[in-house]
Structure 1
């Protein structure tokens, strides 16, 4: 696990920054451009998706209850053509207003099976949703070099994949693999260990990892941004340094 302990203020600041960078990548001329990291979408569809995410979660985060709000993310509600950019602008204002007016400790529904049912979940989730899709938008807009994700935010993003998505994803199939994968950042003091159990996956306290394990082991290292983007399937595993079994880390890619 990482030693970073971001809070709601950090996530809200990150959301503002990443949202502004996402918006800066948009022009009417690039809306039809494909998004290589999300091959099912063009830039306009990416904009519609993120705006729909904001509207869906902005509508329920401040209710003060943990019951499922129902409904679904609905990108089809977005207008076609360049008008989708203004629609996204309004969506972004809505999520910011919802979070800024909500106590992070107040009750709020979320889909996780392990995290507390408080609004804090959505401060974190919206920051990371925006950061990864900002990277997608820059890539789709034809940026010569997409900007990496800020180190502290990326470290927390790896945390989120492993401490929230991993235990909540019931269909996460370890493909029969058994062993331990350790991950370490080269630009921050952060590390994680994941045990593949053949039929499931566990995030470990690194003190429980034994060098004499009879099963395969793999050590993965890279910048926090690269680790996060690999886990989200945005960049190939080859951008990381891998020691040991090269197949084990593939199981962790979302």
Structure 2
């Protein structure tokens, strides 16, 4: 995926998230039961404003996110999302913008992070309604899996947030006929996950139980999967 793909995903998922949360502001988000729809909308609005300040150099990458009260987010989220989309569209993906990970400090990092932030939270917002949410599109889900490895997992090991293991995670994406491999962080005995890209990306973010996709090797790797 490239910058245009990520911006398109932010636009589509951001608007749907807003629609769902405004329709059910007082309903519990089943996948994040500490939140209501209004709380989730406030989180998304805060993300939009945080990127605005970060790109402008008014905020450090490791600073806490901007906090938006839920009642305010119900009024302003449309404007917050529109401002974020204008910012991303007007910014060169190669422009220098700090991030908190081991990846390069460029705007493209945040284009990608925004796409996956809104993809997962759009799915969350849909859990305020009955039935099963529409899945994350397979190409976006596959990129989200790669982002999880390249940004979150690599950074966690680099800064000692996760204890190092001599183990290798193999992810078999059944819908894309593709296999991804991640050392944790040194190669070792293999644990295999198997499932579709949309299901695996949800499992990485604990919207599904990672153990449900265990297909071989040490289950303990998935039983102890970190909450981020």
SS at structure 1 position matched to 2:33: coil
Q: Judge conservation of contact 1:31–1:44 (CA < 8 Å) in 2.
A: yes
Once residues 122 and 239 of structure 1 are traced to their aligned partners in structure 2, the CA distance between those partners, rounded to angstroms, is: 31
The equivalent of 2:137 in structure 1 is: 150
Please state if 1:180 is matched with 2:153: no
TM-score, structure 1 as length reference = 0.80
Q: Which runs of no fewer than 5 residues in structure 1 stay unpaired? A: 1-5, 203-208, 210-214
Q: Count matched residues.
A: 225
2:39 to 37, 45, 48: 45
Higher helix fraction: Structure 1 or Structure 2? 2
Label 1:172 to 1:185 Cα distance change in 2 as closer, same or farther (>3 A).
Answer: farther
Once residues 116 and 189 of structure 1 are traced to their aligned partners in structure 2, the CA distance between those partners, rounded to angstroms, is: 30
Q: Judge conservation of contact 1:166–1:172 (CA < 8 Å) in 2.
A: no
Please state if 1:228 is matched with 2:223: no
**Map 1:200-215 → 2, pairs under 5 A:** 201-202=185-186
Once residues 152 and 225 of structure 2 are traced to their aligned partners in structure 1, the CA distance between those partners, rounded to angstroms, is: 10
The equivalent of 2:95 in structure 1 is: 106
Once residues 72 and 217 of structure 1 are traced to their aligned partners in structure 2, the CA distance between those partners, rounded to angstroms, is: 36
Please state if 1:168 is matched with 2:155: yes
Once residues 141 and 92 of structure 2 are traced to their aligned partners in structure 1, the CA distance between those partners, rounded to angstroms, is: 24
Q: Which runs of no fewer than 5 residues in structure 2 stay unpaired? A: none
Once residues 58 and 27 of structure 2 are traced to their aligned partners in structure 1, the CA distance between those partners, rounded to angstroms, is: 39
Once residues 67 and 147 of structure 1 are traced to their aligned partners in structure 2, the CA distance between those partners, rounded to angstroms, is: 34
Q: CA RMSD in A?
A: 2.4
Q: Judge conservation of contact 1:67–1:109 (CA < 8 Å) in 2.
A: no
> In the TM superposition, what whole-angstrom CA distance separates every residue of 1:145-171 from its partner, at most 9, and x where no partner exists?
101000000000000110111121235
Larger Rg: 1
